[in-house]
């Protein structure tokens, strides 16, 4: 009988209002922590995507630079680079320079003789 009364006394303490209020506050506190953790997790996902995109761009740039370096290790690549940068030619080669004509005649826009043009000019 005493054992039953001891269990009943423990239940009365656990089910009392102050203990239930304390447990409710504790649950709210942990729920708030979980919600803030989920927000931080979303920010971390976005930062990870940005970092992965940056890594992909840097790998592409690395491949391009590696191909440029391997190209410059050959004699033809060095020659092509010098030609592009300085505009040099070999002996016996001719170079053609295309220059645009700066004295082109100016063509004026001739308005069409339509009905809407007539109305537009009439209200000016």
17 or 115, higher pLDDT: 17
Place of tokens 């170079």: 95
Going from the C-alpha of 31 to that of each of 17, 18, 24, 25, 104, the distances in angstroms are 21, 20, 11, 10, 76
Q: For 30-70, how does the pLDDT look when each residue is reduced to its tens digit (9 = 90+)?
A: 999 999 999 999 999 999 999 999 999 999 999 999 999 99
Q: Is the pLDDT of residue 19 over 80?
A: yes
Q: What's the pLDDT score for residue 48?
A: 97
Q: What's the pLDDT score for residue 92?
A: 79
Q: Is the pLDDT of residue 4 over 70?
A: no
Q: How far apart are CA 39 and CA 46, in angstroms?
A: 11
Backbone phi and psi for residue 94, each to the nearest 5 degrees, phi listed first: -110, 150
Q: What's the pLDDT score for residue 88?
A: 78
Please, which pLDDT band fits residue 11 given cuts at 50, 70 and 90? confident
Burial 21-60 (b: 16+ CB within 10 A, else e): eeeeeeeeeeeeeeeeeeeeeeeeeeeeeeeeeeeeeeee
Q: Is the pLDDT of residue 13 over 90?
A: no
Q: For 65-113, how does the pLDDT look when each residue is reduced to its tens digit (9 = 90+)?
A: 999 999 999 998 888 888 888 877 777 777 777 888 777 776 666 656 7
Q: What's the pLDDT score for residue 74?
A: 92
């Amino acid at each position: 009988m005493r054992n039953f009364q001891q269990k009943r006394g423990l239940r009365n303490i656990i089910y009392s209002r102050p203990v239930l209020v304390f447990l409710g506050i504790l649950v709210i506190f942990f729920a708030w922590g979980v919600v803030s953790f989920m927000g931080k997790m979303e920010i971390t996902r976005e930062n990870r995507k940005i970092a992965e995109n940056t890594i992909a761009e840097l790998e592409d740039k690395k491949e391009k630079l590696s191909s440029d370096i391997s190209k410059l290790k050959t004699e033809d690549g060095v020659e092509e680079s010098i030609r592009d940068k300085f505009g040099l030619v070999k002996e016996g080669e001719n170079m053609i320079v295309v220059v645009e004509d700066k004295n082109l005649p100016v063509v004026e826009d001739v308005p069409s003789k339509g009905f809407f043009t007539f109305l537009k000019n009439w209200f000016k």
